Amino acid sequence: MSGRPVRVTYVIDKLHRAGAQVHLGQLAAGLDRRRIQAEVICLLQGGPIAEELRARGVPVEILGLDLLYAPRGLAGVARLARHLRRSGADVLHTYLVSANVYGTLAGRLAGVPSVVTSRRDTGFSRNWRLRLLEEWVINPRVDRVVAVSPAIADSARREHGLRADRIVTIENGVDLAALEPALQLRDDTRREWGLAPEDPAVGTIGHLSPIKGHADFLHAAALVAAADRRARFFLVGDGALRPSLEALARTLGIADRVVFTGAREDVPRMLAMLDVFVLPSLAEGMSNALLEAMALGRPAVATAVGGNPDVVRDGATGLLVPPGQPPALAAALAELLSEPTRAIGLGAAARCWVRQELSLERMLRRYEALYLGLAMR
């Protein structure tokens, strides 16, 4: 390496504002530049995370490919390989299944010394064709797979073509300093949304898609609303399911108690405003919103799926409920709303645990150690 920084190239399909993309933005911009020189390549298109990375001095290349899985898509692999040869990447790290496939093929074609892919969920985001392609073609050709939680690592170990010693677990990290100001704005934020001091605010944050379980949240909200006339419910995020979810709220008779905020840039403020955070997912990796809610001291109710039990210790740092069971979710919410002292205690324990174990700084140091170790092989 002759003393120069290790060159790490990240590949992802898009850089819109979503969990994996936000994480990648924090990672690429936060690494120690005396030791790691990072760049990011988007296969399809950029977005706000791309602009934020450029503003922080991280090069971003948008390939603007059209169709990934078509005969002409192979030209994109060759184009990416040419870029990797020019950049002299020491480590290629890919995010999400399309980038895992494209990046690994291009990286091996370009002769990149080390290729790392990622696992951010238990596989629900991959259709069976992509799963077969990744397991039979890509897995045997990678040097490491990074899983975002122990549960996700266990799932990866069951994949074809992956040796157990190539799987490493590095949990997501929380930027604690960036979250802190939101707590000071809690009262102002609640007033902006028309909440009186005595109005309980319960909410979830995430893309409005079936896997996130928003319909279960609304059914649970209807049960809670029947017992607590002041409770308000917030769905922060947007997506194709919004019209059907709004219709469901009307059918359940709680449309006047439910707020669909749409996509927001002030997620920490929305989290700090809540009295209880809910993650009703049917499947999950390691939710950034859940980690941030806990870091802000919000008591959380989450489904016992994916990486959630690795973060929420039932009865200690939050409450876990079975997925797809609105009555159980409603009971947990009612419990926390009726026992504010216990809710505050769970939130405080969650805040302490996340700050000790899942800080952004700790995550960055672990990724740096991974890249440096690969480069010295």
| Residues across the chain | 377
Which percentage of the chain shows pLDDT scores above 90? 83
Sign of CA dihedral 230, 329, 242, 22: positive
**CA 172 to chain CA mean position, Å:** 8
User: Mean of the per-residue pLDDT values for the chain?
Assistant: 93
Would you tell me which CATH number, out of the four given (3.40.640.10, 3.40.50.2000, 3.30.300.160, 3.20.20.70), belongs to the domain 6-173+359-375?
3.40.50.2000
For range 351-368, the mean pLDDT: 95
pLDDT band for position 13 (cuts 50, 70, 90): very high
Fold match between domain 6-173+359-375 and domain 176-357: yes
Residue 113: pLDDT over 70: yes
pTM score > 0.85 for this model? yes
Q: What mean pLDDT is predicted for residues 22-30?
A: 95
Residues 6+ apart with CB under 8 A from 334: 223, 224, 227, 228
Helices (H) and strands (E) in the chain, counts: 16, 13
Q: What is the DSSP string of 226-270?
A: HH-TT-EEEEEB--TTHHHHHHHHHHTT-GGGEEEEES-S-HHHH
Residues 75, 77, 79, 82, Cα dihedral to 10°: -140
Mean pLDDT of 287-296: 94
Asked if 137 and 253 touch (Cβ cutoff 8 Å), the reply is: no
What is the pLDDT at residue 124? 61
Q: What is the mean pLDDT of residues 85-107?
A: 94
| Cβ contact 264:270 at 8 Å | yes
Side-chain-facing half-sphere of 153: CA atoms under 13 Å: 16
pLDDT at 64: 87
Give the pLDDT score at 377: 80
Residue 2 confidence (pLDDT) above 70: no
What local confidence, expressed as pLDDT, does residue 260 receive? 98
Q: What is the SS3 assignment for 118?
A: strand
Q: Which residues pair with 234 in a beta bridge?
A: 203, 259
Q: What does the CA dihedral 303, 309, 315, 318 come to, rounded to 10 degrees? A: -60
Domain boundaries, the chain: 6-173+359-375, 176-357
Average the pLDDT over 84-106 and give the result. 94
| Ramachandran angles phi, psi of 111, nearest 5° | 80, 25
According to the model, what pLDDT value does residue 17 have? 84
Tokens of 70: 């078509």
Residue 88 contacts residue 33 (beta carbons within 8 Å): no
pLDDT at 130: 80
pLDDT at 7: 97
Residue type at position 301: V
Structural contact between residues 179 and 290, judged by C-beta atoms closer than 8 angstroms: no
Tens of pLDDT along 130-149?
Answer: 888 888 999 999 999 999 99
CATH architecture of 176-357: 3-Layer(aba) Sandwich (3.40)
pLDDT, average across residues 357-367: 95
CA dist list (Å): 45 to 13, 79, 81, 94, 377: 7, 15, 18, 15, 34
pLDDT of residue 242: 97
Confidence of residue 18 (pLDDT cuts 50, 70, 90): confident
For residue 202, list its beta bridge partners.
Answer: 233, 276
